[in-house]
Amino acid sequence: MQLFVGLGNPGAKYTRNRHNIGFMAVDAIAADHGFGPWRAKFRGRVAEGSLGGEKVLLLKPETFMNLSGESVGEAARFYKLGPGDVVVFHDELDLAPGKLRVKRGGGHAGHNGLRSIHAHLGAEYARVRLGIGHPGHKDRVSGYVLQDFAKADAGWLDDLMRGISDGAPWLAQGKPDRFQNAVAQRMAPARPAAKPAAPPAEKEPEEPPEDDRSPLQKLVDRFR
């Protein structure tokens, strides 16, 4: 079994926050791949299903972001999962909006949800970093991540969620490159093939110049 964790904050007022993009990602996977209903467990909400032939448990911790590791650790211990069985979807300030990267291990870069997971699980889990951009100054970060996505973000956000859902089976099979390719195809779909150039128009035959010779001149010219 694998554990796919989406990070966010519980409650309707946080639903469209930038900080909740992890919740959005696992919601999209659950909806598109026929997962069971969400139910309360491990101090969060869980849904069970399969991706690419692999059994997967989706988890949305409801401990609030700063204590996410308590929920993740509880689920991992129950199913006897190690860090290598866990994938965490989270917002990433250091990536432009709509960009996505997968990595395993490393630091938490000040992200409070990851910091908590580090404390309960260690650092060697996989992360799907979902770019939301940076407000420009560290003093503005807290307010920025707790703001809703702008209406102008709706297009790329929808494409990103569709790409994550498309690629989720590859991620479950341990093929992050193919997962990222599936997302990239949604974010920058192939352009339609160029239409073949139209053949050049045929020229109409030119009319012969008007013959203004006299009948006598025509007769003379005929016998030259």
Of 110, 29, 106, 115, nearest to 70 (Cα)?
Answer: 115
Six-digit token pair at 178?
Answer: 């193919």
The alpha helices in the chain, defined as continuous H runs, are 21-32, 68-78, 112-121, 141-145, 154-172, 176-187, 215-222
Strand order in the sheet with 54-61: 39-41, 44-51, 54-61, 2-6, 86-92, 126-131, 100-104
In this structure, are residues 61 and 71 in contact, taking their beta carbons and an 8 Å threshold?
yes
* Separation CA 114–CA 67 (nearest Å): 9
Helices (H) and strands (E) in the chain, counts: 7, 7
Compute φ and ψ for 58, nearest 5 degrees.
-90, 140
Per annotation, catalytic residue among 19, 90, 111, 118: 19
* Separation CA 19–CA 46 (nearest Å): 19
Look up 90 and say whether it is catalytic.
Answer: no
Q: Which are the catalytic amino acids?
A: 19
